[in-house]
Amino acid sequence: MLENIVAQFLEKPEVYSIYTFGNGHIHDTYRVENKDPESSDYLLQKINQTVFLSPEKLMENIFVTTNFLQASPEDTRQLKVITTHEGASFFKDESGEYWRMYPFFKDLIAYDFPDEDSVIAEKQIESAGHAFGKFVGDLRELPIEKIHPVLPDFHRVTWRLEQLQAAIQEDPLDRVATVEREISVMKKLIPKMTLLDAWMDMEMIPVRITHNDTKFNNVLFDQDHTAQVVIDLDTIMPGCIHFDYGDGLRTAAVTAAEDDVQGATVDWDRYEAFHKGYLAATEEWLTPFEIETLPLAASTLAYIMSVRFLTDYINGDVYYKISDPMQNLRRAETQLKLAQLFMLKPEKEEDDPQNDNSNTLDSSESFNLL
């Protein structure tokens, strides 16, 4: 079956082994590996149509963006869409599933977490920050009207809260009674966490073409720990810089997995490393107000994720892939903890000799004890 799909894109499908690959929460992903190690490999994905209601528009966004970014047809350091034999950016099978193919960069690596060695980790993070910042910079000349808002209001806090409210009202699995504590913490944070929405509504922050899923594992590194290719272009949409900067920090400056409530802390050296890389690529063209308001970004993005994960938990885990029935709740709690930790950014070390750079919530504030 998968071989038939591969045959739509590539000659001689029989020379490939096809197996499940990666940790994405949304699509089904396969590595298409040439049995000859000297030849090229590919990545095959079945698009999740529960999430992406219009796969054609999704693929148009990716096609337009990757073509725009392609410096030359021979550019091998850039994500591009592998078209079908008919030249289409996707293949729709007889059951209505949409499939797409990308090159697989055999010499590059994606990491879920930065390296254990802190010097290497900071190098990776700064480089990732730079790559994500440059990505938005490179797209500044692409007319924004060419990009469909495939997931409208994706990072709009007020809309995410409306979704949560709807889930609470529906409460299909009677889970709401068990998450009242989480809901009450979320409510307390609303005034601060909706500032970004307000600034966007008042047009104080420019709308740009942003990536919107700048998780640390969405950039590929070479052996020298330098970021080479930004991947996962599903959520390229009109947005604001805070979305990318904040989501990058949410995943690069944190020391534990997305669902590790106890383990999650913010490493402020890593935070600085990401900031440095991001700003080096963007400082020239960001507005003073964008720069001034960046400190709220990581917190807001972690908050959005906590609201989304809790909504999905209440709805019965219909959106994100889960490994166990409590995972969405753990993810929600972890992200809520991080939203609060990111608000406690210490002053620079040289300004505060007392600062041990390991900021944590004290126990009375700690999310777990609320």
What end-to-end distance do the CA atoms of the chain give, in Å?
51
Other CB atoms within 10 A of residue 363 CB: 8
Shortest separation between residue 330's beta carbon and ligand GN1, angstroms? 13
Shortest separation between residue 213's beta carbon and ligand GN1, angstroms? 5
Rounded CA separation 115/112 (Å): 9
The CA-based diameter of the chain, rounded to the nearest angstrom, is: 66
Partner whose binding site includes residue 361, from ligand GN1, Mg ion, none (CB under 5 to 8 Å by kind): none
Q: Which is nearer to ligand GN1, 10 or 233 (CB)?
A: 233
Residue nearest to Mg ion (CB): 232
Q: Which is nearer to ligand GN1, 10 or 296 (CB)?
A: 296
Shortest separation between residue 213's beta carbon and Mg ion, angstroms? 5
Partner whose binding site includes residue 25, from ligand GN1, Mg ion, none (CB under 5 to 8 Å by kind): ligand GN1
Q: Which is nearer to ligand GN1, 25 or 175 (CB)?
A: 25
Q: Which is nearer to Mg ion, 234 or 272 (CB)?
A: 234
Binding site for ligand GN1 (CB under 6 A): 24-26, 51, 213, 215, 232, 234-235, 258, 305
Q: Which is nearer to Mg ion, 213 or 290 (CB)?
A: 213
Question: What are phi and psi for residue 246, nearest 5 degrees?
Answer: -70, -40
Q: Which is nearer to ligand GN1, 213 or 272 (CB)?
A: 213
Write down the residue that tokens 């499908």 correspond to.
Answer: 13
| Amino acid symbol at 365 | E
Residue 9: which residues within 8 A CB-CB, separation 6 or more?
Answer: 42, 44, 82, 83, 84, 85, 91, 101
Rounded CA separation 168/184 (Å): 12
Shortest separation between residue 319's beta carbon and ligand GN1, angstroms? 7
Of the residues 232, 258, 259, 333, which one makes contact with Mg ion according to CB under 5 A = 232
Size of the site for Mg ion (CB under 5 A): 3
| Amino acid symbol at 164 | L
Question: Helices 241-252 and 118-138: crossing angle, nearest 10°?
Answer: 160
Rounded CA separation 323/24 (Å): 12
Q: Which is nearer to Mg ion, 232 or 259 (CB)?
A: 232
Partner whose binding site includes residue 258, from Mg ion, ligand GN1, none (CB under 5 to 8 Å by kind): ligand GN1
Of the residues 33, 182, 197, 213, which one makes contact with Mg ion according to CB under 5 A = 213
DSSP states of 231-278: ---TT-EEE-HHHHHHHHHHHHSBSS-TT-TTT--B-HHHHHHHHHHH
Q: Which is nearer to Mg ion, 4 or 54 (CB)?
A: 54
Binding mask 332-361 for Mg ion (x = CB under 5 A): ------------------------------
Shortest separation between residue 254's beta carbon and ligand GN1, angstroms? 12
Rounded CA separation 297/253 (Å): 13
Scanning 84-92, 117-125, 226-234, 335-343 for contacts with Mg ion by CB under 5 A, the matching segment is 226-234
Rounded CA separation 90/109 (Å): 25
Partner whose binding site includes residue 51, from ligand GN1, Mg ion, none (CB under 5 to 8 Å by kind): ligand GN1
Evaluate whether 130 touches 280 at the Cβ level (below 8 Å): yes
Q: Which is nearer to ligand GN1, 84 or 235 (CB)?
A: 235
Shortest separation between residue 324's beta carbon and Mg ion, angstroms? 21
Shortest separation between residue 242's beta carbon and ligand GN1, angstroms? 14
Partner whose binding site includes residue 43, from ligand GN1, Mg ion, none (CB under 5 to 8 Å by kind): none
Residue nearest to ligand GN1 (CB): 25
Shortest separation between residue 31's beta carbon and ligand GN1, angstroms? 16
**Alpha helices in the chain, H assignment, sequence order:** 2-9, 55-69, 118-138, 157-170, 180-193, 195-201, 241-252, 268-282, 288-293, 297-315, 327-341
Token readout for 122 is 């900071």
Binding site residues, Mg ion, CB under 5 A = 213, 232, 234
